[in-house]
Amino acid sequence: MESSTIVVVQGASSINDIPRLGKVPRDVELRFADDPKTLRSVLPGADVILGWNFSSSGLADSWDQAKDVKWIQWSGAGVDAIMFPDLVKSNVTLTNCRGVFDRAMAEYVLGLLIAMAKRFPETYRNQLNSHWDYRLTELMFGKRALIVGTGSIGREIGRLLRAFGLEVDGVGRTQRDVDPDFSQIYAQSELTTGLSSADYVIVVVPSTPASRGMINTEAFDAMKPSARFVNVARGDVIDEHALIVAIREKKIAAAALDVFTTEPLPATNPFWQMENVIVSPHMSGDYYEHNETMIDIFLDNLERYRGGKPLKNIIDKTLGFAAAE
């Protein structure tokens, strides 16, 4: 392999937009593209793409210019935004930032569960209105959580919830009775069985053809009326209309949503006005140092790529997520 490497950074306009990117070796040429037209112009001859902004578009339309690209580093955990057919069937290696967001998302989920069980949103609304309203809250110890998605993020959530005193089950691709992080793992085909006994349901599956729309009317009908529902996966994993109906008809007690089918969430969406719904703007995994951590992963993989060594966090493009190492 030649010593010189050309890296296209998609979703940034200059090196100043990305912390620590200046640590790349001097013989690495960086080209920046923060719009589809520029991306198309800088792709010819590039060896590597660093996808910095997962909301950036244009790569699928410019793929005919990426003939020399051998590796794409995606700066996120989910890769659904980049899984267009030409990339999937190509020989280009795709890697992600697996592990960067695990602890942050686990802490965020725990915070959401506590907020719902202890009625913090209601307390805050009362404070804003100077309204004194003594009421009871839920004891969480010993309650059962079901985590739909048993990858690295789901496992970190499971470990934290177990340490907090909850019983934790999972839903994965295959059924397992013995697992270090879950009391048991239901197969995806057994989803409704797992849902029926859960006090808290946390969805963290990647968005793939197999998972899109999996949390639907049947799933909400299977839940307890007292269940709380959390989605930190992707908006298209759930049927949002079915969730709205489930909340309005009190099929479930509450929901906390960090991801949506349309983002930003339109002001006309009913979720904004529902008192028993917490809405947050796709932020559960982001923390002050996460950009630096993502670049550290890229720099490590770049060194591996240039040295002909195996890359970390390789995505199985037929599945849509990284296999555990």
CA–CA gap between residue 119 and residue 130 (Å, rounded): 16
Select from 41, 27, 28, 34 the least CA-distant residue to 9. Answer: 34
Domains of the chain and CATH, by start: 5-100+288-322 (3.40.50.720), 102-279 (3.40.50.720)
The dihedral of CA 321, 191, 108, 239: what is its sign?
positive
pLDDT tens track, the chain, 325 positions:
445 899 999 999 999 999 999 999 999 999 999 999 999 999 999 999 999 987 767 899 999 999 999 999 999 999 999 999 999 999 999 999 999 999 999 999 999 999 999 999 999 999 999 999 999 999 999 999 999 999 999 999 999 999 999 999 999 999 999 999 999 999 999 999 999 999 999 999 999 999 999 999 999 999 999 999 999 999 999 999 999 999 999 999 999 999 999 999 999 999 999 999 999 999 999 999 999 999 999 999 999 999 999 999 999 999 998 865 4
Q: Is the distance from CB of 116 to CB of 278 less than 8 angstroms?
A: yes
Residues 6+ away with beta carbon under 8 Å from 317:
83, 87, 88, 94
Half-sphere exposure of 210 (CA within 13 A, CB side): 13
State the Cα angle at 77 between 311 and 19, rounded to 5°. Answer: 80
Query: pTM (2 decimals)?
Result: 0.95
Q: Is the distance from CB of 154 to CB of 180 less than 8 angstroms?
A: no
Select from 76, 73, 72 the least CA-distant residue to 99. Answer: 76
Select from 62, 94, 61, 59 the least CA-distant residue to 78. Answer: 94
**Euclidean distance between the first and the last CA atom of the chain, given in angstroms as a whole number:** 26
